[in-house]
Structure 1
Amino acid sequence: MPMKAPISLPTSSVARNALVTIAVVATGAAVYWLRDILTPLAMAIFLLIMIDGVKRFIEARTRVPQRFAGAAALILVVLLFFASIGIIVNGAAGFFDEATGVTSRIGPRIDQILIDGGRVLGIDTVPTAAELMTQLDVRSYVASAALQAQGVLTGAFFVMIYLAFLLASQSGFRRKIIGMFPDRTARGEALEVFQRVRGGVEGYLWVQTVTGAMICAAAWLLMRAVGLQNAEFWTFVIFIIGFIPVLGGAVAGLAPPLFALVQFETYWQAAVLLIGLQIILFISGNLIQPRMQGDNQNIDPVVVLLALAFWGKVWGVVGMFLSTPLAVMAMAILAEFKGSRWMAILLSGDGEPYADEETPPTGSRRRVNPPQGKAD
């Protein structure tokens, strides 16, 4: 019986897919290995995009001369950057100072909370706060917190260095684009990709900043109404962690009520904070934010979660902050090439990675005014 000829595999496709897989794995390993170098660089690029957006806003909405708009935007963003670090450090120091002053009643209060919780759950014997503390290595946690604080200050220093060099290299950016893309059509396509990336990141920043300010205003009023200590510090923390998807909302809705349990002798303040903050976050996340973001953040929620997990594992807290902007950038770049557009469709929330797409009567997808000579 004659043997059948072996099935021929598309060696070119197999080789290409294998090469792409190896390249992705190697790139991920390099990004993780070089995280100490790439993390401040990514933050500097992020700040550079913010400066450019603020500059164009100043030029369009104010009477500041155009030649001074760039300097004004730079000063404003840098001051906000260092002010954020200062508020967090000083606020945390003040918070722990106040906590040290009421240490004598924190232990008994936690014991009472444990006893009341045990009664609700039907547990007769519960451990005390002192017994729980003996099981924790407090010294290691303090040392870790000190290292994290040192890392924040060191990282901020390197971010400023990277930002200075990026600003210095901006003057030759146009000449570099012309040198890399002598053809006007190809140059226009490259600029289109850049504008899409910039627009997506700026849109994300705008939505998160405005909605974060709304959340913080309502949360501050609620915390001041119940008398929570350090309401201003908690307000700023809520605003900052609001840029971390998923986890930011969880921390913002749970941290103040937990500290209210320790501060107050009764439980109604913590209950009011918990219910009130959850209502505020629900209204913002389901009514206000979707209307504002429109097509600027058209990313699948699963992709947001995976990006948060990946970049958090690779770059830590900074990666969590940058996870969504990096996903927006990846979708904008992948959507510009025929060979990778299917990945952009998977990343998008509704299968339309382009914000300017429309559906013709035939049901097929097409770009509005597509540029000629799109690269494969």
Structure 2
Amino acid sequence: MNGGLLKVTCTVVVSTVIGWILYIGRPVLVPIAFGVIVTYVVYGIANLFQRIPYIGSKLSVGMRCSIAIALMVVAIFVSIDLLISDRDRLLALAPRYQATLLALVGKIAAVLQAQTEPTWESIRRDILDKVNIQSIVTATLASLSGLIVTVCVVALYTAFLLVEHGRFRRRLARIADNPAAMHVVAVVNEINAKIGMYLALKALLGVIVGLLSWVCMRMVGLELAELWAILIAILNFVPYIGSAVSVALPTLIAALQFGQWDEVLLVFALLSVLNFVVGNLVDPYLMGESLNLSPFVILVSVAVWSSIWGVAGAFLAVPITVGLVIGFSSFESTRPISILLTNKD
């Protein structure tokens, strides 16, 4: 067999086996992966604190990490508390949203002059009347307890990873006695630096986008604006798709709340402009060429990791892909793969 064909065959087989292991092991691997990501965020935010003029250089690494951990704990606590406190209110609003949905359907039917068509009545009776928003909201909130358990597990993994981080770096330093080991240590350090900075900046952008979105939604009078703002901040970690959902979901809620096009179009316009400015101006300015990933590769990575790990894979896709590209570029045999994945000509 040709040597090149053999390598390709082995690569496909190994990739398939790894993908299968990742898929069946997702209940265990996903919390661990999120624990690693949160650890990166902590150290990335700590490094950002070091850049604060005058006081940043005076803060020790331990102090910066402690402040970062405290901020993350407060943010997670506030988010969970808001989800729990808004649960009853969201359930109470669900019947009104249901009625508004059917009223909007009636208005659209009247515009289309299809109100008296038997086919339209059949669709409305058999499909739209079965869209029970309250049951959808109830099912969504029922998963809240599972989400809280997952957050606790991730927090546990993160705590152990933070404790082990210093020891791991010391072990790497001890084994870096030969050129091969030193090269591996350099690769690990580069992956840590790039992923940590990317996630820290993404977290900062998420907070900014969430706050600005909250201001926009409050201006229009959208209900539960704080809840949607937190969701928008979290969705900021998902490239492209997250921005689309961040605009579509509040627009849908505005339609269900107001039942009028003026407020709906205003919410859509404000959030669209905000996401466009952040996604096309602020984000590239802060990130620069640090990721060096092709937009197509980012979309494919989101699709692939989402198929393996579901929604969690969409959040983890870019950091994992960045780590893989750095690893591929560091070794001669896999460097062609990294060239195909990067954004440079």
TM class, shorter-length:
0.7 to 0.9
- What does 1:126-165 align with in structure 2 at a 5 Å threshold? 126-127=120-121, 132=127, 134-135=129-130, 141=136, 145=140, 148-165=143-160
| Matching residue's letter, 2:165 | Q
C-alpha offsets along residues 98-121 of structure 1, whole Å, 9 cap, x if unaligned? Answer: 415xx3x44443232112212334
Residue 340 of structure 2 corresponds to: 346
Q: Which of 80, 90, 115 is the matching residue for 2:106?
A: 115
Deviation of 1:66 after TM superposition, in Å, equals 4.6
Matched, 1:201 2:195: yes
Deviation of 1:180 after TM superposition, in Å, equals 4.5
- What does 1:1-376 align with in structure 2 at a 5 Å threshold? 9-10=1-2, 12-59=3-50, 61=52, 62=56, 63-91=58-86, 93-100=87-94, 103=95, 105-125=96-116, 126-127=120-121, 132=127, 134-135=129-130, 141=136, 145=140, 148-178=143-173, 180-183=175-178, 185-351=179-345
| Matching residue's letter, 1:343 | I
Residue 362 of structure 1 corresponds to: none
Q: Distance in 2 between matches of 1:231 and 1:202?
A: 30
Call closer, same or farther: CA 1:129–1:33 in 2, change over 3 Å. Answer: same
C-alpha offsets along residues 309-368 of structure 1, whole Å, 9 cap, x if unaligned? Answer: 1111211221111111111111111111111111111111224xxxxxxxxxxxxxxxxx
C-alpha offsets along residues 185-228 of structure 1, whole Å, 9 cap, x if unaligned? Answer: 33332232122212221332244234334433432232222211
Call closer, same or farther: CA 1:69–1:292 in 2, change over 3 Å. Answer: closer
8 Å CA contact retained: 1:335, 1:344: yes
Deviation of 1:141 after TM superposition, in Å, equals 5.0
Q: Distance in 1 between matches of 2:259 and 2:12?
A: 58
Structure 2 gap segments, 5+ residues each? none
| Matching residue's letter, 1:325 | P
| Matching residue's letter, 1:14 | L
Call closer, same or farther: CA 1:36–1:331 in 2, change over 3 Å. Answer: same
TM-score norm. by structure 2 comes to 0.86
Q: Distance in 2 between matches of 1:76 and 1:157?
A: 16
8 Å CA contact retained: 2:173, 2:185: no
8 Å CA contact retained: 1:107, 1:130: no
Deviation of 1:138 after TM superposition, in Å, equals 7.7
C-alpha offsets along residues 152-171 of structure 1, whole Å, 9 cap, x if unaligned? Answer: 12222221222232233234
8 Å CA contact retained: 2:45, 2:200: no
Deviation of 1:84 after TM superposition, in Å, equals 3.4
The structure with the largest alpha-carbon Rg is: 1
Call closer, same or farther: CA 1:41–1:291 in 2, change over 3 Å. Answer: same
What SS does the aligned partner of 1:339 have? Answer: helix
Q: Distance in 2 between matches of 1:208 and 1:68?
A: 22
Deviation of 1:181 after TM superposition, in Å, equals 4.0
8 Å CA contact retained: 1:178, 1:187: no
> Which structure shows the higher helix fraction?
2
Moved more, 162-171 or 332-341: 162-171
Q: Distance in 2 between matches of 1:139 and 1:266?
A: 21
8 Å CA contact retained: 2:90, 2:137: no
Number of aligned residues: 337
User: Which structure would you say has the larger RCO, counting Cα contacts within 8 Å and 6 or more residues apart?
Assistant: 2
C-alpha offsets along residues 76-116 of structure 1, whole Å, 9 cap, x if unaligned? Answer: 3344344434334444x15414415xx3x444432321122
Q: Distance in 1 between matches of 2:126 and 2:158?
A: 49
Q: Distance in 1 between matches of 2:28 and 2:299?
A: 25
Q: Distance in 2 between matches of 1:293 and 1:55?
A: 17
Moved more, 234-243 or 109-118: 109-118
Call closer, same or farther: CA 1:110–1:178 in 2, change over 3 Å. Answer: closer
TM-score norm. by structure 1 comes to 0.79
Call closer, same or farther: CA 1:75–1:282 in 2, change over 3 Å. Answer: closer
Deviation of 1:24 after TM superposition, in Å, equals 0.6
Call closer, same or farther: CA 1:283–1:226 in 2, change over 3 Å. Answer: same
What SS does the aligned partner of 1:340 have? Answer: helix
8 Å CA contact retained: 2:302, 2:313: yes
